[in-house]
Amino acid sequence: MHARRSRVIALSVVLATVGALAPLALMGYVSWKRAIEKELGVLDRAGDEAIARAQFTFSDARKALVDIEASDVARCSPEHIALMRMLTINTTSVEEIGYFEDGKLRCTSWGPTEGDIGKAHVDYVTPDGMEVTLRIRPAVTRGKPMLGLHLGSHNVLVTPSRFVDIGLGPDLSLALTNSEGQLIDGRNGPDVVFARSHLQDDTHGIDGSEMFATVAQDGLVAVVTEPVTNVYERLRGELLLLLPVGLFIAAFIVAIVVFFSRRRLSPRGELEIGIHRREFIVHYQPIVELSTGVRVGAEALVRWRWPSGTMVRPDLFIPLAEETGLIVAITDQVVDGVIRDLRSTLEQDRTLHVAINISAEDIKTGRFLDMVAVKLQKTEIRNEQIWFEATERGFIDIDAARVSLDTARKAGHSVAIDDFGTGYSSLQYLQGLPMDALKIDKSFIDTIGKGTATSSVTSHIIEMAKELGLFTVAEGVETEEQANYLREHGVTFGQGWLFSKPLTAGEFIKFHAASAAKHGRAAEVIRVAA
């Protein structure tokens, strides 16, 4: 039992721990996932915006190039230069337009050029045919490096930051490259090597300590990155939202585990398990004829045998079993036990009877009668060999009790009133009840020879039984003195340690065989009342 309890406790602790940790871990994981997804969403949107911005800048610049190429003014004429200047002013992205002839810069939006400035080397060509030079130092203004776009015989210079000019959080870095990974421009110090290894369109994720998102379109790639640690702030928000949910679920699970383990560990739970595992067995205490010492029967006394081997006495669980209604299932196991243990003994010796204690609940409903009938039907045991003992507690509903006892007797069973004298029953009250025997309670037998007030009650009780025309069984006979007294007062049968303690089935079968050899068989099963 101890082992079983500690198993239940251990299991409950494990279940409660897992039940508490699992929802918390799950919510932690979900929070992390959500935080990452949300943050990557931010990177995705920044990438989209960067691509849109770069495309706009390219097409803006291209439009200026196409316009100037299409004009038919004489090249490097004042009109041509004015047109280039006007396009420079009207096109936001474009800082300067230049005209080339025979590979040499002839004039720009600033005017005709002197000197020998050649066309810059081309880094790559856009899908729509513009030659791109990533770093050009403007020949005329000598300003900061510019990005050059060349179409036909004109080129435009664009400040690189125009391509990446978007609202970007301070923690985010952006690298805008062509599809080869050549940097057009970046923001917030991008790691170009990292960007080059993540050029594939529409991917996002975590690589090392960086989160990244890549958007690619028309030969342009935007890689937006951010340290993973930036997600912590967001994670805290998610946890704040989800951890209470996890805590709630955890508390709920723990409460359920506690509820069930407490129930399971409660005496009632133990009893239920005992019944479920059919741990109830029967011991048998011989009943003898006082005048001869001949064994006439036995009382079936239930024992709860725990897996540890401990035998639990009925006083410790019968009250609870009666209170909870579980007693009914125990009665079933007792009847099963009697049939299993003594079937052949009873079938071979018709003078032997076994008295089974019937609970108040059983008496009230009469349920046990059908149950016993069904179980006996499969055997050769006679109804006369099965007696029932009912205490006065079972007679609270006197009419129902009368029906049950009457039915039992009509079927051939004998009925004894157990613990007689301890209840409130008056003579008239008992007179109306169908019964065969009275079992005089041990407390009266105990007083015999002690000269106490109750000892005179004992003789009255014996007289009462005689008046009722019932035979009597004295319970708990421990001394010869008691046995003698009972014999003198005409008590028929005795049961007690003087004759035998309750025996296991095996012991009882041996006891029965020995007593049969000694005394011969008892007279046919005794039935006093008709």
Q: Which residues bind Ca ion (CB under 5 A)?
A: 357, 389, 418-419, 475
Among residues 86 and 329, whose Cβ is nearest to ligand C2E?
A: 329
The option from Ca ion, ligand C2E, none interacting with 120 (CB < 5 to 8 A, set by class) reads none
CA distance 144 to 162: 13
Name the DSSP letter for residue 151: E
Among residues 107 and 354, whose Cβ is nearest to ligand C2E?
A: 354
What angle separates helix 505-519 from helix 327-348, to the nearest 10 degrees? 40
Among residues 91 and 331, whose Cβ is nearest to ligand C2E?
A: 331
Least distance to Ca ion, CB of residue 389, Å: 4
Maximum alpha-carbon separation in the chain: 155
Q: Distances from the Cα of 18 to the Cαs of 11, 14, 26, 249, in angstroms?
A: 10, 6, 11, 12
Q: Find the length of the chain.
A: 530
For 351, how many CA atoms within 13 A lie in the half-sphere containing its CB?
16
The option from ligand C2E, Ca ion, none interacting with 226 (CB < 5 to 8 A, set by class) reads none
Q: Is 200 within 8 Å of 181 (Cβ atoms)?
A: no
Q: Is 148 exposed, middle or buried (0-12, 13-18, 19+ CB in 10 A)?
A: buried
Which residues share a beta bridge with 471?
A: 437
Q: Distances from the Cα of 173 to the Cαs of 50, 158, 224, 272, 417, in angstroms?
A: 11, 21, 6, 67, 95
Establish if 285 lies at the interface with ligand C2E (CB under 6 A): yes
Which residues share a beta bridge with 414?
A: 387
Q: How many residues bind ligand C2E (CB under 6 A)?
A: 24
- Are β-strands 203-207 and 183-187 bridged in parallel, bridged antiparallel, or unpaired? unpaired
Least distance to ligand C2E, CB of residue 499, Å: 8
The option from Ca ion, ligand C2E, none interacting with 210 (CB < 5 to 8 A, set by class) reads none
Applying CB under 6 A, among 352, 496, 512, 526 the residue interacting with ligand C2E is 496
- Can you spell out the DSSP letters for 104-130? EEEEETTEE--S-PBPPPP-EE-TTS-
Site stretch for ligand C2E (CB under 6 A), options 255-263, 373-381, 493-501, 518-526? 493-501
CA distance 386 to 370: 14
Site stretch for ligand C2E (CB under 6 A), options 2-10, 116-124, 327-335, 339-347? 327-335
Site string for ligand C2E, 461-480 (x = CB under 6 A): --------------xxxx--
Least distance to Ca ion, CB of residue 281, Å: 17
Establish if 155 lies at the interface with ligand C2E (CB under 6 A): no
- Are β-strands 203-207 and 124-125 bridged in parallel, bridged antiparallel, or unpaired? unpaired
Among residues 62 and 512, whose Cβ is nearest to ligand C2E?
A: 512
Least distance to ligand C2E, CB of residue 372, Å: 13
| Closest CA relative to residue 58, chosen from 120, 107, 6, 130 | 130
Least distance to ligand C2E, CB of residue 500, Å: 9
Retrieve residue 359's tokens.
Answer: 């609970």
CA distance 231 to 190: 18
Among residues 147 and 381, whose Cβ is nearest to ligand C2E?
A: 381
The option from ligand C2E, Ca ion, none interacting with 359 (CB < 5 to 8 A, set by class) reads ligand C2E
Establish if 418 lies at the interface with ligand C2E (CB under 6 A): yes
Least distance to ligand C2E, CB of residue 470, Å: 17
Least distance to ligand C2E, CB of residue 267, Å: 16
Establish if 334 lies at the interface with ligand C2E (CB under 6 A): yes
Among residues 96 and 322, whose Cβ is nearest to Ca ion?
A: 322
Retrieve residue 39's tokens.
Answer: 């943050």
Site string for ligand C2E, 241-280 (x = CB under 6 A): ----------------------------------------
CA distance 369 to 413: 10
For 464, how many CA atoms within 13 A lie in the half-sphere containing its CB?
18
Applying CB under 6 A, among 318, 371, 509, 529 the residue interacting with ligand C2E is 318
Only one residue has tokens 């990244």, namely 212
CA distance 147 to 135: 5
Site string for ligand C2E, 431-450 (x = CB under 6 A): -----------x--------
Where are the strands (E) in 17-140, listed by range? 94-101, 104-108, 111-112, 124-125, 131-136
Least distance to ligand C2E, CB of residue 368, Å: 10
Site string for ligand C2E, 357-396 (x = CB under 6 A): x-x-------------------------------------
Name the DSSP letter for residue 503: B
Applying CB under 6 A, among 301, 326, 405, 470 the residue interacting with ligand C2E is 301
Establish if 302 lies at the interface with ligand C2E (CB under 6 A): yes
Write out the residues near ligand C2E by the rule CB under 6 A.
Answer: 285, 300-302, 313-315, 318, 327, 331, 334, 357, 359, 418-419, 442, 475-478, 495-497, 502
